[in-house]
């Protein structure tokens, strides 16, 4: 599996507090069958993470992973708030985008219905393609999942996360997440992992639920082939 949304970097946002915690999370992901992780520290009003700091933390993590022989490919991007996506200079968004092309834009409960179109409109001029992270948490999307259809028609991707499908954020989020998966509106399934915790839903377990409810091919599309196409499209020819 390829995890396209994970707070693996230490000492940078609400993810691991220490390098040791990051290594434990990395080992768990590897043991679940994850081969590649996109590290996505927050870039938001609360956590305005400098891209240089994120890259430094990533280099430190890479050295630690090599020392303890955890075989896990990693890259660094960011999880961008809607406010930052609409206001940050486009060049600064590009350096935080997956492969310099796909910014991961976080939708939250209070995200208004017109935000999805506004983000698409702004990024289109710079040929940036948004990935909308956990839209199932947005009340507007819960009320009308078709809000995502225009964005997807314009090339945007939709990413649901394992905690939502496991019911961690309540029934409304759970129902909307499964609606997005079963209706075909979801393109990617990611962990959104922050810490190693016994109560934290694991990506492997949730992807197995997807296989049971929607079939093995749907699971592979969300966790393997879809993410692989994303990374290939993000890599310059």
Q: Which two tokens stand for residue 117?
A: 């179109």
Residues 6+ apart with CB under 8 A from 197: none
Does residue 66 register a pLDDT over 60?
A: yes
Does residue 201 register a pLDDT over 70?
A: no
Q: Give mean pLDDT, residues 174-194.
A: 97
What is the domain range of residue 30? 2-234
In 77-228, the DSSP E strands lie at 79-81, 104-106, 131-133, 157-161, 188-190
Among 105, 104, 62, residue whose Cα is nearest residue 82: 105
Q: What is the pLDDT of residue 197?
A: 76
Rounded CA gap, 174 and 142, in Å? Answer: 10
Q: What is the pLDDT of residue 150?
A: 95
**What is the secondary structure of 131-148 as a DSSP string?**
EEE-GGG-HHHHH-GGGG
Count of domains observed in the chain = 1
Q: Which two tokens stand for residue 106?
A: 């976080």
Q: Give mean pLDDT, residues 231-236.
A: 80
The domain that holds 215 is classified in CATH as 3.20.20.140
């Amino acid at each position: 599996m390829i995890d396209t949304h994970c707070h693996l970097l230490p000492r940078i946002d609400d993810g691991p507090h220490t390098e040791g915690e990051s290594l434990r999370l990395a080992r768990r992901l590897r043991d679940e069958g994850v081969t590649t992780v996109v590290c996505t520290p927050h870039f938001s009003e609360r956590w305005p993470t400098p891209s240089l700091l994120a890259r430094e933390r990533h280099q430190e993590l890479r050295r630690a992973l090599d020392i303890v022989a955890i075989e896990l490919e990693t890259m660094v991007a960011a999880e961008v708030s809607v406010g930052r996506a609409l206001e940050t200079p486009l060049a600064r968004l590009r350096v935080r985008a997956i492969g310099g092309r796909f910014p991961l834009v976080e939708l939250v409960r209070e995200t208004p219905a017109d935000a999805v179109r506004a983000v698409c409109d702004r990024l289109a001029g710079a040929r940036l393609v948004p990935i909308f992270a956990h839209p199932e948490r947005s009340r507007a999307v819960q009320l009308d999942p078709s809000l995502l259809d225009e964005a997807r028609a314009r090339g945007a991707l939709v990413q649901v996360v394992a905690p939502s499908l496991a019911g961690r954020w309540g029934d409304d989020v759970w129902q909307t997440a499964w609606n997005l998966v079963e209706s075909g509106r979801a393109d990617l399934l990611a962990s959104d992992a922050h810490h190693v915790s016994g109560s934290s839903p694991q990506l492997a377990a949730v992807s197995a639920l997807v296989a049971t409810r929607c079939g093995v091919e749907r699971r592979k599309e969300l966790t393997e082939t879809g993410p692989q196409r994303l990374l290939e499209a993000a890599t310059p020819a």
